[in-house]
């Protein structure tokens, strides 16, 4: 069974010793919480590293490591991709949002134990929090993984981002249909880039879509 460093090497993604340590701790904390509540489907450590941690890490190239950005992970669930991105981009601040309080409590516990000062957790529905001045129009980027189809994700994310903001969506291989479903808000943004990648050991094909405001 491959460890996390070997998996990142297979994907040609850089990984420092400090990042490796934090990601291994995160994986162990997830296993603890998964025994109490269903954050993720039960799987081997290798599968979790590939399908969840590595998958989340593919988004790091879209976040400038030299800038201090405000990033919202909408529908964070068990802390993905937000916690992984926060480990790789310590200069940026990440807000991890979810509508399920038990999940937010679990994520908050993991963030505290990982000693990540650049992460905060928020419980609430996105449509409600989008009206709150503390969140409305405050983010340089909104990221989402397994949150909703694009025709729901984009309208949910737009109220949170700045006029120059971006949206990063983690998707499966077949996104053409989602992209073709235009919404009333489609005129406000454009597709900046689409990146296709395949996870190691035939673990699935993924797509990373980056949207920017017009």
Residue 1 has pLDDT above 90, yes or no: no
Q: What pLDDT, on a 0 to 100 scale, did the predictor assign at position 32?
A: 93
CB 62 within 8 A of CB 208: yes
Mean per-residue pLDDT for 2-18?
94
Q: Please provide the average confidence, as pLDDT, over all residues in the chain.
A: 93
Percentage of the chain beyond pLDDT 90 is 75
CATH code matching the domain that covers 4-213, chosen among 3.40.630.30, 3.20.20.70, 3.40.50.20, 3.40.50.150: 3.40.50.150
> Any idea of the CA torsion for 202, 203, 204, 207, to the nearest 10 degrees?
-110
Domain parsing of the chain, residue ranges: 4-213
Under the banding of pLDDT at 50, 70 and 90, the label for residue 184 is: low
Residue 181 has pLDDT above 80, yes or no: no
* pLDDT tens digits along 55-91: 999 999 999 999 999 999 999 999 999 999 999 999 9
């Amino acid at each position: 069974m491959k460890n996390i460093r070997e998996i990142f090497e297979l994907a040609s993604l850089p990984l420092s010793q400090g990042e490796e340590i934090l990601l291994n701790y995160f994986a162990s904390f997830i296993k603890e919480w998964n025994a109490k509540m269903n954050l993720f489907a039960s799987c081997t450590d290798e599968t979790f590293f590939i399908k969840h941690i590595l998958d989340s890490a593919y988004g790091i190239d879209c976040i400038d490591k030299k800038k201090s950005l405000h990033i919202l992970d909408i529908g964070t669930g068990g802390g993905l991709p937000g916690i992984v991105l926060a480990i790789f981009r310590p200069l940026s601040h990440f807000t991890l949002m979810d509508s399920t309080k038990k999940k937010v409590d679990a994520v908050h516990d993991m963030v505290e134990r990982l000693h990540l000062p650049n992460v905060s957790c928020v419980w609430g529905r996105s449509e409600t929090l989008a009206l709150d001045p503390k969140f409305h129009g405050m983010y340089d980027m909104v990221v989402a993984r397994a949150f909703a189809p694009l025709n729901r994700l984009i309208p949910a994310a737009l109220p949170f981002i700045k006029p120059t903001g971006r949206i990063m969506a983690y998707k499966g291989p077949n996104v053409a249909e989602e992209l073709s479903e235009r919404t009333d808000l489609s005129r406000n943004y454009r597709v900046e880039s689409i990146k296709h990648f395949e996870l190691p050991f035939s673990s699935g094909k993924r797509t990373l879509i980056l949207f920017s405001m017009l």
